[in-house]
Structure 1
Amino acid sequence: DQAQKIIFETVYNNKDYENFILEFSGGNAIFTFFGHISVGFISAFQYILKNMSSFLFKNHASLQREMEYHADAISTFVTNPEEQTSSLLRLELSDAALAHSINFYIESKEKYLPQNLYKNQTSSMQILSERNNHPYVNGLPKIDIEDLNRYNKSRIEIEDQWASHPDIAKRIEKIKTNKTQNSGFNHRLATEIIKGYDHICEAMTRKYLTLLQIKNVGEIIDNESFVQLYRENSSYENLSLKFNGYYERHNPVLENLEVVLSNPVQIDRDDLFSDTKVSLVYEKAGIEGDLQTLNYLYSHPKDIKTFRFEGTLYKAKDAQSLIPKFENELQKVKNDLLENDKIIFAHFYRISAETDKENLFSTYEKFRMVDKEYDEFQESLNEFIGYLQFMAVTLPFEEIRKHRVKLLQAEKPFKQKIKHLLEDSTYGTLLAEEDRNLLQHYVDAHYIYFNNDRYLQNEVDSLSLLIERYQTLLNEHYLNSKQELVNLQASLDKAY
C-alpha cells in the first residue's frame, strides 16, 4: 500500500514540482527552454511508470484475491462450509452496524461516549435486522445470498481489477466446494467462549476512541441507553418498519389529487406494499445508477475497456447504444410507482373518517410543495458553495481578492433565494424563530470576508455556520414532512 501511494504521488500528483520549475525560470528564455526539457523528461518517465505500475498493481491485486480464496479454504477446513458461508454473508450487515454505532456518537457532537462499542454494534445489528426482516437463528441474523441482491438491482457488471477481495458470491461458490474436517456445528458465540469478553471489548473501545482522536468529554452511556437514544434519533426508524419499507427510499409526490380521487382503483391493501412493489423502488435506483455508469463509460472509453450486460460482453464505446433502453425502462418503473402512489392515496382517503380526509389531502399537498421547494433551494445552495472553495486552500492575496469578487456577486442571488424561503415558501412556515433569525441576519449582513491581506474570521465563521444550518434545515424539514405523511397513513391504517 505504501509503495502504491508513493508511485501514485509521483505519477499523478506531481504538478507542483513542474509548476515550480516553470515559474522559477522567471521568463528567462534559456531557463524556460531547459525547464521545458526537464518537464518533458518527467512526463516521459511518468508515462512509463504509469503503465508499469498499472500492470504490477493489477497483478498484485489479483494475487491478493487468490490468497483470499486460500484463507477461506483454511477457515472452511477448520469449521465447515455452512458456518463459513453464514459468517461471510453477515459481514456487510455487521460492518454497517459498527458504522451506524460510530456515527451515532459522532453526530452527538461529543455529548455521549460508548462504554462498550461492540455491544452497541450487536444492538445496531439487531435493529437493522428488524428493519430488513432478517430472522435471528442461534443468536445471530440469518442472511441469504438473495438478501445481498435485494437492494442492488444494477445489471451493469464491471470487473474491478484493483479489488483486493473477490466478490462475496464468488467466494461462497468456492467455499461450497472446499474440504472440511469438521462436519459438526458449534453455535456458541464468542461472548460465551472468551473469558472476560466484556472487559476486553470495553478496553478495545477506549483504544479505538483514542485512535479516532475522540475527546474524552462526553457522558459515557451503557448499551441500554445507547439503544434508547439510537431509536429516538434514528430518522428512518419508522419509515423502515412501516409499510414494508416502501417509503424508506421513495418519496410519494402526487399532483392533481382531485383527479386521482375521480378515478379510484381499489386493490387489496397488502398488495400496495408487497415485496413486488418495494422492489420497484430499488429497480428505479438500480436503473438510475446504471444510466450514470453507461454515460461515464461512453464518455471515458479509455478508463474502462469492457463491461457485461445480461451475460454479453460490450466495449465501453458501445455503452451509448444501451442508454435508450435503460431510459425507457426507467420511465416505465417511474410510471408504475406513480400509479401505485395514486392508488395508495385513494385507499387511505377512502378508509378515512370525514374529519381525516381533509388532513390527508393537505398533508400530501404540503409534502408535494416541500419536495418542489427542496430541489429549488438545494440547487441554489450547491451552486453557491462552489464559490467558497478558495477559502479552503492557500492562495496569493491577489487570487483571493479575485475569488472574493466572484463570491460577493454570487451571494446576491443566493440571499434572494433565502429571502424567498423566509417570506414566501412552505419551508418558511416550518422554521423555528431561532433559525429564522439566523437566516434573516445573514440576508441583512454586508460581509466582505477578506480585508488588509487577511480573512475576517468572524464573517467566515458566520458564513460557515449559516451554510451548515441551512443544509440541515432543508434536510430536516423534508424528512419531517415525509415522516408526518407516513405516520398519518399508519394511524389511518391502524384505525381501519
Structure 2
Amino acid sequence: MLIQASNDFRKKGQAAIFSIILFIIVYILLFISAIALTVACVTGGIMMIAAKPMFFTLMIGLGLASFGLLIFYFLIKFLFKKHINDRSFLTEITQRDEPELFAMISEIVKETGTDFPKKVYLSYDVNASVFYDSTFWSMFLPIKKNLTIGIGLVNACTKQELKAIIAHEFGHFSQRSMKVGSYVYNVNQIIFNLVNDDESYRNTIQNWANASGYFAIFAELALKFTQGIQWVLAKMYSFVNIRHMALSREMEFHADEVAANIAGSLALEESLLRMDLADNSYNNVINFYESKIKDSKASKNIYKEQAFVMGFLAKESELEMKHDLPVVKLEEAGIFNKSKLNIENQWASHPSTEDRVARLRRLNIQKESDNRTARSLFKNFEQTEEKLTQKLFSNVQYESERSNLEFDHFKEEFETTYNKDTFDKIFNNYYDNKSPDRFDLETSIPSDENLSFDELFGKDKVEIAYNLIALENDKNTIESISKKELKIKTFDYDGTKYKASEAKNLIPKLENEIRSLKEEVTANDINIYHYFLRKAKEQNREYEFRTYYSDFVNYEASYEEQFKLYLELNDAYAFVSVTTPFEQIKKNFRKHIPLESKLKDELKNILTNPLLESDITEEACKDLQYYVDNQLIYFNNNEYFNDDLQHLFFAINSYQYYTARNYFLLKKRLLDQMSILEKNV
C-alpha cells in the first residue's frame, strides 16, 4: 500500500529536517570546541606536571585534564543512553494463546507492509500503542516494534474498529516517508537527554569531586560550563521540538489514512468518538475501587463493570446504541465547547478528534465491516479480563484480607453514588457548568411570567449559558496572550486571524459580548427563580424553596473568600517542603498562628454541618476533631514533628475538599428541590 504524503506533511517534514540540520551544525560546533578544549586541558595538564613534577602540580594537572574530559563526556553520553520501556504492567500473549487475534494482526501487517511485531502485550487501559526500546543507533539499525492492546479498548469496540485502531498504529511505520518522523523523534530525545537527563552525569562529577579537594574546583567549573552548553541546547530543543510536534500531528493524519484504507473511514471515526466515553467509564470504575481500598474491597472483573458503566452513562446521555455499543456523534462530543478561539497548539503531538474525523469524512473510504464485538477475537475473553483484573489489584496494598465486590452490589453502589453526585437531567445540562445566578431575591422582577419549563431550559437558553462560559474562557486566554504569559505569534478568533500584539484590542469587544450575554443569562435565571417560586407557593413549599435558594447564593458569595484562605494556608506552610534556617522555621510557625486559628474555626463549622455528615468518614472526623481540639507542636529542638505536620496538612486539604463539597451539596439540594416542584404536577 502506497499513500501519497500530503503537502502539509511534506512542508512539516522539510521544516523538521531543517531543524535537525541546524541542530547538527550547532552540535558539531560544540563538539569541535569540546575536543579542542579537552586537548588543550589534557596537554596543559601534562605540560604542567612535566614542567615541575610534584604533588601539587600532579593534582592540578589531573584536575585540568579531567575538566576537559568531563565536558567531552557530557556531549557524547547520549550515545550510550538506552531507553527501556517499563513492561511490568503488561501481559505478553502469543499466537498459541490467541490465534484469531494474531491472524487479524497478520492481515494488518501484510496490508500495511510492515514487520510483524516482535511481541504482543495486553495492558489494562483503553489504548493501543506500538513501542520499542531505543538508543541513538535506532536511527540507523532496523528495530522490531512491540504491540500493546488495552483490554479496556477491546471491551469498547467492534472487530472492525479494533482493526482500524491497530492499523493506525502500524500506519506510523508503513510508509517510507514516515521514516523522517523516527529521525526527528530520536534527535528530539537526544537533545532532551542532553538538556534534562543529567543525573548520572552529575553523580559522575560528584564522585570525582569527592576524590580530592583539588578535583572539586575543576568539577564545579565543568558543571558550570555544561550548564552553559545546556542553555544553548535548550534553545535548540525548543526549536526542534515545535517542528517535531507539528510533524507528529501530520503523521497522525497519515496513519489515519492508512487505517481508513484497511478498515474503512467509519470504523475509525466511530471508535475515535467513543474512546472518551470508554476511557471515562474505565476511570470511573478505577476511582470507585480507590474509594474501597479502606474496606479491602476489589473487583473480580473490572472490565465487566466498565461495560456496565459505559452503557449506564450512554443511557443517561440518551445515546443511541449500535452493535451493542454506544454511538457518540461529533456534535454530541463537542456540544458544550462553544469557544471561538483557535490556537494551533504547537506542543500537542496529536490533532483534535474533530480534525481527525473531518479528514476521515473527506476520505470517505468504504469497507466491508465485521461488526461483531472485538471480544470475540479472544478464546475466552472473560477469563482474560479476570486475569488482568487480578494482576491490576495485586499491586494495591490492603490493610486486611482482600475480598471481591459482587457485580450486582457494584451496580447498585455505582448508581447510588452517581445519582448522589449528579444533577437531574430534566435541566438539560443547564446547571452542569454554571450555578443559579445571584440577584436580589426580594426585588427581582421576571421579564416574562408566562415562560414554560421547556422554554426556560430549552436548547437556546443552554447555548447562551455555554457561550458565556466559552467567552469568559476565551477572554482569559487572550488576556494571557496580551500579557505575553502565553507565547504565540498568531491566533484565530471567530474565523479572523490576529497577531499576538493585537490581542489587547480584542478584549473590549469580548467584554461587551460577555456583558450582553450575562444580562441574558441573569434575566433567564430570574425567570427561573420566579417560575419555581410560583410552583413552591402552589405546593405549600415556599419557605423551603426560598431557604434553599438563599442558602446556596449566600454560600456562593463567600466561597471565593474560603478558597482564598486555602491558598493562603498553602503558601504560608510551603516553607516546610524546602530547606529553611531553624530560626526562620520557628518565626514562620509563630507568624501563622492567627491563620491556623481561622482554619480551626472553619473546620468546626464543617464538623457540625448536617449537610456534610454523611460525607465525613468516622476516621476523618476523628482526625479533624483531634486537630481542632489540640495545640500541636510542629517544630522543636531543631527538628520537625512529622505526625503533627501530617495532621496540619490533612486539615488544610480537608478544608478545601469539604468547602467545595458543601458548595456542590447546597447546589444539588436546591436543584433537587426544583426538580421535585416540577415533577409534582
TM-score range, shorter chain: 0.7 to 0.9
Give the secondary structure class of the aligned counterpart of 2:423: helix
2:389 counterpart (183, 205, 208): 205
Partner residue in 2 for 1:271: 455
The alpha-carbon deviation at position 343 of structure 1 amounts to 0.9
* 8 Å Cα contact 2:446/2:530 also seen in 1: no
Mark the CA change 1:130 to 1:427 in structure 2 (over 3 Å): closer, same or farther: farther
Mark the CA change 1:305 to 1:110 in structure 2 (over 3 Å): closer, same or farther: farther
The alpha-carbon deviation at position 460 of structure 1 amounts to 1.0
The alpha-carbon deviation at position 36 of structure 1 amounts to 9.5
Mark the CA change 1:301 to 1:348 in structure 2 (over 3 Å): closer, same or farther: closer
The alpha-carbon deviation at position 444 of structure 1 amounts to 5.0
Partner residue in 2 for 1:450: 635
Partner residue in 2 for 1:66: 250
Mark the CA change 1:407 to 1:347 in structure 2 (over 3 Å): closer, same or farther: same
Task: Tell me if 1:280 matches 2:464.
Answer: yes
Partner residue in 2 for 1:123: 308
Distance 2:521 2:608 in 1: 26
Mark the CA change 1:176 to 1:388 in structure 2 (over 3 Å): closer, same or farther: same
1:121-160 equivalences under 5 Å are 121-160=306-345
The alpha-carbon deviation at position 336 of structure 1 amounts to 2.0
1:327-366 equivalences under 5 Å are 327-352=511-536, 353=538, 355-366=540-551
Q: TM-score, normalised by structure 2?
A: 0.63
* 8 Å Cα contact 2:428/2:462 also seen in 1: yes
Partner residue in 2 for 1:306: 490
Distance 1:450 1:464 in 2: 14
Distance 2:534 2:660 in 1: 31
1:379 counterpart (552, 564, 586): 564
Partner residue in 2 for 1:27: none
Q: For 1:195-216, what per-residue CA distance to the aligned partner results, in whole angstroms no more than 9, with x for missing partners?
A: 3111111222233345xx3236
Partner residue in 2 for 1:256: 440
Q: TM-score, normalised by structure 1?
A: 0.85
Which consecutive residues of structure 1, in runs of 5 or more, have no partner in the other structure?
25-30
Partner residue in 1 for 2:574: 389
Partner residue in 2 for 1:410: 592
Partner residue in 1 for 2:417: 233
Distance 1:236 1:292 in 2: 32
How many equivalent pairs are there? 480
Equivalent residue letter for 1:207: K
The alpha-carbon deviation at position 454 of structure 1 amounts to 2.0
Question: Identity, % of aligned pairs?
Answer: 27
- More displaced 10-residue stretch of structure 1: 234-243 or 159-168: 234-243
1:41-80 equivalences under 5 Å are 41-80=225-264
Distance 1:487 1:257 in 2: 19
Equivalent residue letter for 1:258: E
Distance 2:611 2:283 in 1: 32
Task: Tell me if 1:173 matches 2:390.
Answer: no
The alpha-carbon deviation at position 364 of structure 1 amounts to 0.5
Equivalent residue letter for 2:592: A
* 8 Å Cα contact 2:489/2:499 also seen in 1: yes
Distance 2:460 2:348 in 1: 33
Mark the CA change 1:230 to 1:400 in structure 2 (over 3 Å): closer, same or farther: farther
Equivalent residue letter for 1:413: L
Mark the CA change 1:468 to 1:37 in structure 2 (over 3 Å): closer, same or farther: closer
* 8 Å Cα contact 1:97/1:124 also seen in 2: yes
* 8 Å Cα contact 1:64/1:165 also seen in 2: yes
The alpha-carbon deviation at position 137 of structure 1 amounts to 2.2
Mark the CA change 1:107 to 1:335 in structure 2 (over 3 Å): closer, same or farther: farther
* 8 Å Cα contact 1:301/1:317 also seen in 2: no
* 8 Å Cα contact 2:548/2:670 also seen in 1: yes
Q: For 1:87-120, what per-residue CA distance to the aligned partner results, in whole angstroms no more than 9, with x for missing partners?
A: 1111222222222221222233443322222222
Give the secondary structure class of the aligned counterpart of 1:257: coil
* 8 Å Cα contact 1:384/1:411 also seen in 2: no
Whose RCO is larger (CA < 8 A, sep 6+)? 1
Equivalent residue letter for 1:148: A
The alpha-carbon deviation at position 427 of structure 1 amounts to 7.9
Partner residue in 1 for 2:404: 220
The alpha-carbon deviation at position 426 of structure 1 amounts to 12
Distance 1:372 1:226 in 2: 38
The alpha-carbon deviation at position 298 of structure 1 amounts to 1.9
Partner residue in 1 for 2:657: 472
Equivalent residue letter for 1:487: D
Q: For 1:133-165, what per-residue CA distance to the aligned partner results, in whole angstroms no more than 9, with x for missing partners?
A: 322222111122212221222222111233222
The alpha-carbon deviation at position 495 of structure 1 amounts to 0.9
Equivalent residue letter for 1:214: V
Task: Tell me if 1:461 matches 2:646.
Answer: yes
Partner residue in 1 for 2:581: 399
Distance 1:365 1:179 in 2: 55
Partner residue in 1 for 2:48: none
Mark the CA change 1:81 to 1:481 in structure 2 (over 3 Å): closer, same or farther: same
Mark the CA change 1:239 to 1:311 in structure 2 (over 3 Å): closer, same or farther: same
Task: Tell me if 1:190 matches 2:374.
Answer: yes
Distance 1:485 1:126 in 2: 28
Mark the CA change 1:492 to 1:385 in structure 2 (over 3 Å): closer, same or farther: same
Distance 1:282 1:218 in 2: 45
Partner residue in 2 for 1:28: none
1:293 counterpart (468, 477, 502): 477
Larger Rg: 2
Task: Tell me if 1:85 matches 2:263.
Answer: no
The alpha-carbon deviation at position 342 of structure 1 amounts to 1.2
Distance 2:193 2:419 in 1: 40
Give the secondary structure class of the aligned counterpart of 1:234: helix
Mark the CA change 1:411 to 1:123 in structure 2 (over 3 Å): closer, same or farther: farther
Give the secondary structure class of the aligned counterpart of 1:270: helix
Equivalent residue letter for 2:301: N
